A = this chain, B = another copy of it.
């Protein structure tokens, strides 16, 4: 039941090569050298990764990768001198020449930071055997941004906090977590309209803490949040008005002929809560999570194989939702 709250876990390690300036100070030829060296090292990995120059990808497929959380929006923003290595299932990816020379990322479904870290650590160890990684005895891994110094590890858990959003508790929770060195931020539709109830919780502190301790700390927080979300959800669901809202959300998703991304995410969030409380039984949390990714603009267009106007996307989105939920 509580595993519904944790959608996915992500480990990201920042690494830089010795002897080269950070990417923002690096010449075009310097970037090309870094790409070349990393490519060679990636080809020697025990796990097979595809290697692509970013300039070989269409803008739409780059944005779709951002929507799938495979790359950062900043990385997609400029393709020059950048490359990406990615495993077939997209659980492992390496951004080359983003803010740092290497950003190794591993994503796993559910609450699985330890598993994700083990994989990231193995990739890091194998790459370090081939590449000279910038490391300082006192500062740890050297990174462009000083907030990443130390382990240079960012651990994040994507969580669906539908009930806590509904009870308007997330702001207070976020303020408390910040004091403890964690940051929680909305994942989709961050603006004021239609909060998505999807949040990413990450560690802030990378200096003076081992990777293991950082992961243990964040897992403890996630487990506490899961419990609070669960008990808030149960009390919400005691109200007929709320059950009505949840049930109607499914009805609207199954019959809409036009739907915006923000409305769809809000309704899918309701359905997600309904599934975990047995109010909705004709779909699964996995289907809902898959849909939330699929119905984003670039992902929709990539699946359709063509550009679509916003109005066309609202129509195609409604069709995709109907087909997937039925």
In the complex, the answer to whether B257 meets A247 with C-beta atoms within 8 Å is yes
Q: What does the 1/0 interface line of A248-284 toward B look like (CB < 8 Å)?
A: 1011111111110000000000000000000000000
Quick one: copies of this chain in the complex? 2
Task: Assess the B257–A240 pair: CB atoms within 8 A.
Answer: yes
Interface string of A305-326 (1 = CB under 8 A from B): 0000001000100100000000
Bin the interface of chain A by size. Answer: 10 to 19
Could you tell me the distance between the alpha carbons of A244 and B253 in the complex, rounded to whole angstroms? 11
Q: Could you tell me the distance between the alpha carbons of A324 and B256 in the complex, rounded to whole angstroms? A: 21
Which positions 207-253 of chain A face chain B at CB distance < 8 Å? 240-241, 243-244, 247-248, 250-253
A315 CB contacts on chain B under 8 angstroms:
240
Q: How far is the CB of A257 from chain B (nearest CB, A)?
A: 4
Contact with B along A33-63 (1 / 0, CB 8 A): 0000000000000000000000000000000
A318 is contacted by which of B244, B257, B259, B311 (Cβ under 8 Å)? B244
Cα separation A254 to B254 with both chains bound (whole Å): 10
Least CB distance, A273 to chain B, in whole angstroms: 14
Chain B residues, Cβ within 8 Å of A318: 244
- Residues of B near A257 (CB, < 8 A) are 240, 243-244, 247-248
Q: A252 contacts which chain B residues (CB < 8 A)?
A: 248, 251-252, 255
- List residues of chain B with CB within 8 A of the CB of A254: 251
Nearest-CB distance from A246 to chain B (Å)? 9
- Complex Cα distance, B257 from A252, in Å, reads 14
Question: A250: which of B255, B259, B311 is its contact (CB, 8 Å)?
Answer: B255
A to B CB contacts below 8 Å, 9 in the list: A240-B258, A240-B311, A240-B315, A241-B258, A244-B256, A244-B318, A247-B255, A251-B255, A252-B252
Beyond A244-B258, A247-B256, A251-B254, 4 extra complex contacts between A and B, CB < 8 Å? A240-B257, A243-B257, A248-B252, A251-B253
Counting from the closest, the 4 A-B pairs by CB-CB distance are A251-B255, A251-B251, A244-B257, A244-B258
